[in-house]
Amino acid sequence: MMNITNFQKTRHTRRCYTLELSISFTGDTSKYVQIYNELKQAILRKKLLAHEQLPSKRTLAKTLDVSVHTIKEAYEQLLAEGYIYSKERSGYFIAPFEFEWGQQLKQHTYASSIPVVDNIKFDFNNGHVDKEAFPISIWHRLLKKHFNVNNLTTSSWQGEAILRTEIARYVERSRGVACEASQVFVYSGTQSQLQALCHFLGPKTHVGLEEPGFKRIRATLQQCGLTTHAIPVDNSGVTIPKKSIHMLYTTPAHQFPLGMVMPVERRVALLQWATSENAYIFEDDYDSEFRYKGLPIPSLAKMDQLQRVIYSGTFSKTLIPSLRISYMILPKSLVEDFILFNQEQKSVVSKIDQLALADFIAQGLFDKHLAKMRTIYRKKQQTLLAAINVNFSEEFEVIGEKSGLHIVVKLPKRLSEQDAINLAQEVGIKVYPCSTSYQKKTKHAMVLIGYGGLTFEQIKEGIKLLGAVWQSFTPH
């Protein structure tokens, strides 16, 4: 059944687990056989790996409340059958071996841990940021500073007060949103804060969503059982809802995915609508920090002074997505009820990460990082647009380039969205569909091109390859 290969191999790091078997001994079989069987199964299923050390006989005997002799018998049986080996004065270790039915097992075991192999060289993902520019050593110093015994408890549900204070100060100085720390709620992503809001508002709530818009937002609302309505987007961003809804989700600073900046007139009109309808506006300011053209336009939350507007921001674009820290700022009129509603909830964000981030902002390092990233992303966008200008014909139209970390390219009639994506993939490039952002069928074929995560050279080379393969394509 098995082919024992090598007992001498000891250069592997040995792990010594405090193995805890949970066995409900039955009367039918002797205890040592039951222990032997449990261990054998653990070895065969690779839950105990080659060269791992078994607990001492004494330890295991104590754990299982049996005699040392019983364990000795079990170990000797395993030894005799070659499942384990012993080393003098060291103890017992799992034997390395191949087993005939191994292939069969492997098909199921850890299938999901096998990485997907693809040929993608340049991924124009709009969710990627410039990781090289992130101040890893500073961040690490901050983690070390705050990772101490006083900070090992759960954060308060609303988030660390010191972080909420810094966020309140930041959104006021950067986006003009005057608010207090008590209005700020810390979450682990835009979806997580929207989910909490959905629970608070209840399943009978009707929410308007931009069409086209973030499909992840729609999925979250629908998971929570709320009813969603598609509200069309025109050249000024989302239009005034004609349906009767309780809340409108919108991305005025940089509409997702089309990228237009909502002009002041539309903002005023939306706020008037919200006031007259007693509706709320959920302003998702997901990448407003990166603005390249045109005058700054005040956020809806600033114009409305957080009366009808719920403001949502994230550190996934401005810092790194792996951090999973975001924030939602509520009108004062909602704060008390929201806290009461969530009185049994716990924080979902690491306290250490929150304290490190608060310190990072308080020391002025966040603003400094933003200033640096604004310059980098502006240059990356310029590189991208210049490359598109050189490599793409005039049939292709670029939209949404005033801000953010992605642009949209409208494709010529001869090129469908799927063809464009497939052709790109053939030359090792990943671009993204816009059609998935629509609930209805789209009029224009468009693709989304993000540039935050690629280097200048990668952007240039990627667009060159893309231009060549798109320009030469004719549908059959």
Residues 149-208 that bind a second copy (CB under 8 A): 149-155, 158, 161-162, 164-165, 168-169, 172-176, 178, 180-182, 188-189, 191-192, 195, 199, 202-203
Q: How far is the CB of 130 from a second copy (least distance, A)?
A: 10
Q: How far is the CB of 66 from a second copy (least distance, A)?
A: 10
Number of residues that bind a second copy (CB under 8 A): 113
242 binds a second copy (CB under 8 A): no
CB contact set of 118 (below 8 Å; sequence gap of 6+): none
265 binds a second copy (CB under 8 A): no
Of 129 and 424, nearer to a second copy (C-beta) is 129
**Binding test (CB under 8 A) with a second copy, winner from 5, 86, 234, 371:** 371
Q: Which stretch binds a second copy (CB under 8 A): 337-345, 415-423, 426-434, 463-471?
A: 337-345
Of 177 and 411, nearer to a second copy (C-beta) is 177
**Binding test (CB under 8 A) with a second copy, winner from 62, 216, 379, 414:** 216
* Identity of the residue numbered 208: G
Q: Which stretch binds a second copy (CB under 8 A): 121-129, 270-278, 396-404, 442-450?
A: 121-129
Q: How far is the CB of 467 from a second copy (least distance, A)?
A: 27
Q: How far is the CB of 369 from a second copy (least distance, A)?
A: 9
Pairing between strand 247-250 and 184-187?
unpaired
**Binding test (CB under 8 A) with a second copy, winner from 9, 10, 12, 16:** 16
210 binds a second copy (CB under 8 A): no
Interface positions, 275-304, toward a second copy (CB under 8 A): 295-299, 302-303
Interface positions, 381-400, toward a second copy (CB under 8 A): none
The Cα 179–Cα 222 span in angstroms is 30
Site string for a second copy, 91-110 (x = CB under 8 A): -----------------xxx
The Cα 19–Cα 414 span in angstroms is 64
The Cα 221–Cα 249 span in angstroms is 10
Strands (E) across 95-166 are located at 97-99, 122-123
- Peptide bond preceding 212: is omega within 30 degrees of 0, i.e. cis? yes
Task: Collapse the DSSP code of 65 into the 3-class scheme (helix H, G, I; strand E, B; otherwise coil) and give the result.
Answer: coil
* DSSP state string for 13-52: PP-B----------SSS-HHHHHHHHHHHHHHTTSS-TTP
Q: How far is the CB of 298 from a second copy (least distance, A)?
A: 5
Q: Which stretch binds a second copy (CB under 8 A): 41-49, 79-87, 305-313, 417-425?
A: 41-49
Quote the tokens at residue 122: 């340049």
CB contact set of 233 (below 8 Å; sequence gap of 6+): 210, 211, 212, 213, 239, 255, 258, 260
Of 220, 173, 168, 171, the residue nearest 195 (C-alpha) = 220
- Tell me how far apart the 2 most distant CA atoms of the chain are, in Å: 85
Q: Which stretch binds a second copy (CB under 8 A): 93-101, 126-134, 399-407, 463-471?
A: 126-134
**Binding test (CB under 8 A) with a second copy, winner from 224, 281, 309, 424:** 224
Of 54 and 258, nearer to a second copy (C-beta) is 54
Quick count: other Cβ atoms within 10 Å of Cβ 171? 23
343 binds a second copy (CB under 8 A): yes
Interface positions, 46-75, toward a second copy (CB under 8 A): 47-48, 63-65
Task: Collapse the DSSP code of 247 into the 3-class scheme (helix H, G, I; strand E, B; otherwise coil) and give the result.
Answer: strand
CB contact set of 81 (below 8 Å; sequence gap of 6+): 40
- Do residues 62 and 19 make contact, with C-beta atoms less than 8 angstroms apart? no
Q: How far is the CB of 429 from a second copy (least distance, A)?
A: 18
Of 223 and 416, nearer to a second copy (C-beta) is 223
Site string for a second copy, 405-434 (x = CB under 8 A): ------------------------------
Quote the tokens at residue 466: 């893309």
Q: Which stretch binds a second copy (CB under 8 A): 11-19, 381-389, 394-402, 411-419?
A: 11-19
441 binds a second copy (CB under 8 A): no
**Residue 455: is it exposed, middle or buried by C-beta count within 10 angstroms (0-12/13-18/19+)?**
middle
Of 224 and 231, nearer to a second copy (C-beta) is 224
- Do residues 400 and 258 make contact, with C-beta atoms less than 8 angstroms apart? yes
117 binds a second copy (CB under 8 A): no
Interface positions, 305-324, toward a second copy (CB under 8 A): 316, 320-324
Q: How far is the CB of 412 from a second copy (least distance, A)?
A: 30
472 binds a second copy (CB under 8 A): no
Q: Which stretch binds a second copy (CB under 8 A): 34-42, 90-98, 385-393, 415-423?
A: 34-42
Sign of torsion over alpha carbons 39, 41, 43, 46 = negative
The Cα 225–Cα 207 span in angstroms is 11
CB contact set of 224 (below 8 Å; sequence gap of 6+): 195, 198, 199, 203
The Cα 240–Cα 148 span in angstroms is 51
